[in-house]
Amino acid sequence: MFNILENTFDLNQLNCLTKKLANNSNIGDIFLLTGELGVGKTTFTRLFINALFEKHLMAIPDNIKSPSFPILINYSLHKYEINHYDLYRLKNKNELIEIGILENIKNNITIIEWPDLIINNFEITNYYLIKFELIDLNIRKLTIFHSRKQKLNEF
């Protein structure tokens, strides 16, 4: 795994980053988001999904929220879906298998909040691991790793 970025971001800078990631993302990409409650994982996801819809010249969804209760929320684009998972409440790998997460990854873009269960129980490839840290009310530190890419601009 390669460390491809480590920097602090305010909301405007985070929006720019998510647009760059969205414009260079492909079907099969996985975004694993880690960090404390309230650190910005869902905000990142909202900005990233908005950017993917803009990329495809589609109307941005009205309400993008964390799938804490339903575990999965899907957003349909022209040729694939964005699957947004929140695995916080899951306890074991059998629950991951039951929700079909491994099948859904292959033909979609997947965002997973609280990804420890999947990281520890399954071999996945082509993923970004994004660690969020709270610096202050308006600033977050993001450290982005990739399973294969050595640079953020290596798309």
At 69-115, the pLDDT tens digits run 899 999 999 999 999 999 999 999 999 889 988 888 889 999 999 99
For residue 154, pLDDT over 60 is answered with: no
Q: Is the pLDDT of residue 54 over 50?
A: yes
The contacts found for 98-103 with CB under 8 angstroms, 24 or more apart, are 99/71, 99/72
Instruction: Tell me the C-alpha distance between 93 and 90, whole Å.
Output: 8
- pLDDT (0 to 100) of residue 153: 67
pLDDT digits (tens, 9 = 90+) for 113-135: 999 999 988 888 889 999 999 99
The helix/strand/coil state of 131 is strand
Contact by Cβ (8 Å): 13, 140: no
Instruction: Look at the block and give the residue holding tokens 């694993």.
Output: 32
Max Cα–Cα distance, the chain, nearest Å: 39
Beta strands in 87-149 (DSSP E): 109-113, 127-134, 140-146
Q: Which residues pair with 140 in a beta bridge?
A: 9, 134
Ordered by where they begin, the domains of the chain are 11-112 (3.40.50.300)
How much is the pTM?
0.94
